[in-house]
Amino acid sequence: DTAVSQTPKYLVTQMGNDKSIKCEQNLGHDTMYWYKQDSKKFLKIMFSYNNKELIINETVPNRFSPKSPDKAHLNLHINSLELGDSAVYFCASSPRDRGFYEQYFGPGTRLTVT
């Protein structure tokens, strides 16, 4: 069984479009995250939700809007896509939002904006 899953795996779209990426975890974790990995493979946190509540928002443009319908799901909606949004987006989860817990990552969604 896949622990953290993301859909779609690949997403190619044009500038100005709106798109969503979905994430689901079946680990029973309370906390979920979105990370962006740029072309140089640098990973940076974007958002974190704990039990559907936003707890980390790392100065991400407001074109990015995360939504957590329940604690097993964290979706990422992106409005007015720009070329610079091209990256791999990873979803992750951890048991709690505090403490020494590792995070479990999904397989990633490669977004290409043309």
Partner 1 sequence: AQSVTQLDSHVSVSEGTPVLLRCNYSSSYSPSLFWYVQHPNKGLQLLLKYTSAATLVKGINGFEAEFKKSETSFHLTKPSAHMSDAAEYFCVVSDLRLTGGGNKLTFGTGTQLKVEL
Looking at 12, 15, 27, 55, which residue binds partner 1 (CB under 8 A)?
55
Looking at 45, 65, 73, 86, which residue binds partner 1 (CB under 8 A)?
45
Check if the beta carbon of residue 33 is closer than 8 Å to that of residue 47.
yes
Q: Does 72 bind partner 1 (CB under 8 A)?
A: no
To partner 1, the closest distance from the beta carbon of 16 in angstroms equals 28
Which residues are registered as beta bridge partners of 21? Answer: 76
Amino acid at residue number 108? G
Q: Does 98 bind partner 1 (CB under 8 A)?
A: yes
Q: Give the 3-state DSSP-derived string for 21-71, with helices as H, strands as E and coil as C.
A: EEEEECCCCCEEEEEEECCCCCEEEEEEEECCEEEEECCCCCCEEEEEEEC
What x/- string results for residues 3 through 42 when contact with partner 1 is judged by CB under 8 A?
-x--------------------------x--------xxx
